[in-house]
Amino acid sequence: MSVRHLRAVVVKEIRHVLRDRWTFILVLVTPISLLFIMAYALTVDIDNVPIAVMDHDQSAVSRDFIQQLSAGEELDLVARANALEEVERLLVEGTIKAGVIIQPAFGEDLVGQRGLRLQVIIDGTEPESGTFAMEQVARRTEAFVVRSMPSGSAEWLRPIELNVRALYNPGLEPRVDLVPGLISMVLGLPALSVALALSREREHGTLEQVLVTPISRADLLVGKMIPYIAIGMINVVAIPIMAMAAFGIPFRGSFGLFFLLSIVFLFAMLSMGTLIGVFMRTQPAALALSFLVIFFPGFFMTGIFYPIAAMPDELQMEAMLLPGTHYAIITRSIFLRAVGLEILWPNVLALAGLGVVFTAVGAFFFKKRLG
Amino acid sequence: MTERNGDRGEPPAADRGDVVIETRGLTRDFKEIRAVDGLDLTVRRGELFGLIGPDGAGKTTTLRLLAGLLKISDGWAAVAGRDLTREPEAVKPHIGYMAQRFSLYAELTVMENLRFFSELYDVPPRERAERTDRLLSFAGLTPFRSRRAEHLSGGMKKKLALACTLIHEPPILLLDEPTTGVDPVSRREFWDILTELYTGGTTILVTTPYMDEADRCTRVGLIYQGHLVRCDAPEVIRAGIGEELIELQTDQWREAQVVAKDLPGVSQVMTYGESLHLLVDAAEDRLPEIEAGLEAEGITYRSLRPTRPRMEEAFISLVRDREREGLR
């Protein structure tokens, strides 16, 4: 190890990032804007789901019920059907996401407390809006029944009543959970940058000139990583501020701890990027492999969207080898549950271990040679 | 050492201090081809040695092997007294290597590039300013010190690369086609710089595809298909090819070319501008026969006289000998 060599590489790399417009955008602008876009795009509030109603009852009660259904923002009554075929056609066309069919004698049965003759057909190809419509219809029906019955007489509709309280995210807002998780995704971009930076030096031939100097392999690789870790830290500070300001995500834990553990994560992630750069000789190859081993698994296997517990056992094992999995746990815990090292230490240990292993493998396979 | 290449010669004894680059049976295989094939090369201290050969002859591979950039497949090589098969890193502080491609950082300025390499080569900070100033003026780059490398002309880039290669004052320089793709004026300037370095005592191994540059070297190695075809002082190579050259100037050079090929003693006909060069076994003896042969075919000429072979003819003649040997 030579401090002078290390410093020379770090300074050179920082100059490159600041002067190469695309690298600058990739490492400093993209992470925050990507988080912004994903947080919006992936947690769209479902509203104004188009539905059709087919009223076989045609009574005052059923008309009143239809009125109740279309009140509010959630459901949008766009058509009235006269036959089942018509409901189907509207579903096929995509004009509606759900059809509500009011059976004959709907009003009579309700008033006589004989039950509720109501059918809901949803578009199963879009389960999100379909189930949303179903839940809304159920909720409104309940409210309608409770309102139109004498007090207490509608209890038969809900035999069990659960009193549920969601801790840490009382509104069960998907974004509150998602945004802290997504941070691990966007911090993959500095890792991509270091992979590209290394393979670019091979492509441009600059590596050849460096390899004939007496610099050690470790100095070269670590010197290459340090600037991207530093730039990642800028993101680590900026992202929570943006998450709080733009999305109202609470930050309940210790910021100091978050900052420190983010360094450990960046180290693990950047050493993964370095490993890619060691093996890939061209930038397109490095890019492709980064997507394959950083971004796709980061998206689907780190528990950001799908709980790890729901994955098959073999995939759960693999998920534990991804830095993103551990960091997603860390960010969510610190942001939302104010948890400290007493709970997170296994994840911190895993991140540090992954970083050391990736760096060691990279340094082992990185020879001071061409070809 | 015996298991490496028992039959290919012994590594040098310790007292051969004068030899700074030495290879014995140096071989490098790539997937499909053998780029360097049993190369034996000896360069002594203070030589300006030219490794000359066509594209694909193995020049770049040889230089990369000597710079420790490629693993030696077979054979043995030592640079600055260090065995490259055993300690390639030990060689690096003693050599300056300049790649064929421009391989400095385009987005760094001239000064920043020099500074970067001065740090990687552990140039003492006290000497850094003085050395960079001297190299900048030496390379004629002083007015461009704050210019980014990407905005330099081709010739200036080569000079900057050379300056970065010289920053640690290496006793041995390995330069891979430093003048390829450079305009003639810059080429001349570059060779003037090399000559100056040579005068200052630096050992230089330079590759070039340009045969005319061979005459500026103290010794020349002709490399072809990974073999060293010939290795000697340029004038010795030119004189000793065993063939002589006749220059023929004629207006009917197309016809003359066809006729001359079949004349007795002529082994090769080459066009050279408006004239033809005939390689013959003995110029003075064959001159009357060639004169007669041309007149018999009705070809008139302005002049027909023996001339001094250039490195190019020498090279072609040597390569042809080599091919003939290969066929036998």
pLDDT-derived band at A126, boundaries 50, 70, 90: confident
| Residue B9 pLDDT exceeds 70 | no
Higher-confidence position of B7 and B117: B117
Q: What is the mean predicted confidence (pLDDT) over A17-39?
A: 89
- Strands of B244-249's sheet in order across: B266-272, B275-280, B244-249, B303-307
Three-class DSSP category at A19? helix
Domain that residue B266 falls in: 242-308
Q: How far is CA B28 from CA A284, B59, B64, in A?
A: 29, 12, 10
Q: For B28-39, how does the pLDDT look when each residue is reduced to its tens digit (9 = 90+)? A: 999 889 999 999
pLDDT band at B2 (very low <50, low <70, confident <90, very high): very low
Cβ atoms of residues B21 and B202 within 8 Å? no
pLDDT at A158: 57
Residue B301, SS3 per DSSP: coil
pLDDT at A133: 86
Residue A370 CA to residue B28 CA, distance in Å, equals: 13
Identify whether residues B190 and B269 lie together within a single domain. Answer: no
Asked if A77 contacts A29 with a C-beta cutoff of 8 angstroms, the reply is no
Of residues B62, B59, B53, the one with CA closest to residue B314? B53
The answer to whether A233 touches A266, Cβ cutoff 8 Å, is: yes
Per-residue pLDDT tens digits for B169-178: 999 999 999 9
Distance CA A23, CA A190 (A): 10
Strand partners, A100: A53, A120
**Shared-domain flag, residues B209 and B137:** yes
For chain A, give every domain's residue range: 3-42+173-365, 49-157
3-state secondary structure of A21: helix
B5 three-state secondary structure: helix
Has residue B8 got a pLDDT over 70?
Answer: no
Q: In one letter, which amino acid is B319?
A: V
Residues B87 and B130 in one domain: yes
Nearest-5° Cα angle at A304, A300 to A307: 85
**Whether pLDDT at B10 is above 50:** no
Pairing of strands B19-29, B34-44: antiparallel
Q: What is the mean pLDDT of residues A256-277?
A: 95
Q: Is A58 at the interface with chain B, CB within 8 A?
A: no
Among B189, B213, B238, the domain boundary falls at B238
pLDDT-based confidence at residue B274 (cuts at 50, 70, 90) = confident
- Amino acid at the residue A324: G
Dump the DSSP string for B178-245: TTTT--HHHHHHHHHHHHHHHHTT-EEEEEES-GGGGGGSSEEEEEETTEEEEEE-HHHHHHTTS-EE
In a domain, B178, yes or no: yes
| CA separation for the pair A315, A319 (Å, rounded) | 6
C-alpha span between B196 and B181 (Å, rounded): 22
* pLDDT of A43: 67
Residue of B nearest to A212 (CA): B92
Distance CA B98, CA B103 (A): 8
B298-312 per-position pLDDT tens digit: 888 888 888 877 777
Q: What is the pLDDT of residue B17?
A: 57
Residues of B in contact with A212 (CB under 8 A): 67-69, 92, 95, 97
What angle separates helix A188-204 from helix A30-41, to the nearest 10 degrees? 130
Whether B41 and B231 have beta carbons less than 8 Å apart is answered as yes
Identify the closest residue of chain B to A5 by CA–CA distance: B120
In a domain, B160, yes or no: yes
Cβ neighbourhood burial of A222 (10 Å; 0-12, 13-18, 19+): buried
Residue written as tokens 């070297």?
B217
Closest CA to B107 of A223, A206, A4: A206
**Which residues sit opposite B249 in a β-bridge?**
B275, B303
Lowest-confidence pick of A191-205, B110-124, B148-162, B175-189: B175-189
In a shared domain, residues B274 and B225: no
Q: Within this chain, do residues B193 and B266 fall inside the same structural domain, yes or no?
A: no
Residue A155 is predicted with a pLDDT of: 61
Can you tell me the mean pLDDT for A234-261?
91
Same domain? B280 vs B298? yes
Domain shared by B192 and B258, yes or no:
no
Quote ipTM for the complex.
0.81
pTM of the model: 0.80
Reply yes or no on whether the pLDDT at B139 is more than 60. Answer: yes
The closest CB to that of B69, out of A5, A214, A370, belongs to A370
**DSSP per position, A127-195:** HHHHHHHHHHHHHHHHHHHHHHSPTTTTGGG-S-------SS-TT--HHHHHHHHHHHHHTHHHHHHHH
The interface residues of chain A toward chain B in range 8-27, judged by CB-CB distance below 8 A, are: 8, 11-12, 15-16, 19-20
Residue A310, C-beta contacts closer than 8 angstroms, at least 6 positions apart: none
Nearest to B69 among A2, A12, A369 (CB): A369
Report the number of distinct structural domains present in chain B.
2
**What is the arithmetic mean of pLDDT over B286-297?**
84
Same domain, yes or no, for B255 and B135? no
Pick the CATH number of A49-157 from 3.40.1710.10, 3.30.70.100, 3.90.930.12, 2.60.120.10: 3.40.1710.10
User: At how many degrees (to 10) do helices A3-19 and A188-204 cross?
Assistant: 100
At B124 the pLDDT is 94
Number of residues that make up chain A = 371
Statement to judge: residues B88 and B112 lie in one domain:
yes
Lowest mean pLDDT among A282-286, B56-60, B293-297, B314-318: B314-318
pLDDT of residue A279: 93
- CATH number of domain containing B214: 3.40.50.300
Residue B297 sits in a domain of what CATH number?
3.30.70.980
Nearest residue on chain B to A4, alpha-carbon basis: B119
CB B52 within 8 A of CB B221: yes
pLDDT at A227: 94
Q: What is the DSSP letter of A294?
A: I
Residue A216: strand, helix, or coil: coil
B contact set with A (CB within 8 A): 30, 64, 67-71, 88-89, 92-93, 95, 97, 99, 101-108, 112, 115-117, 119-122, 161, 164
Q: Do residues B7 and B79 both lie within one domain?
A: yes
B82 within a domain of the structure (yes/no): yes
pLDDT at position B302, please? 85
Pick from B71, B116, B164: CB nearest A369 = B71
Task: Please report residues of A whose CB lies closer than 8 A to that of B69.
Answer: 208, 211-212, 368-370
Percentage of chain B surpassing pLDDT 90? 50
Residue B19 sits in the same domain as residue B85: yes
pLDDT value for A236: 92
Same domain for B275 and B209? no
Rounded to an integer, the average pLDDT of B76-104 is 93
Gap from B107 CA to chain A (nearest CA, Å): 6
Lowest-confidence segment of A198-202, B156-160, B183-187, B234-238 by average pLDDT:
B234-238
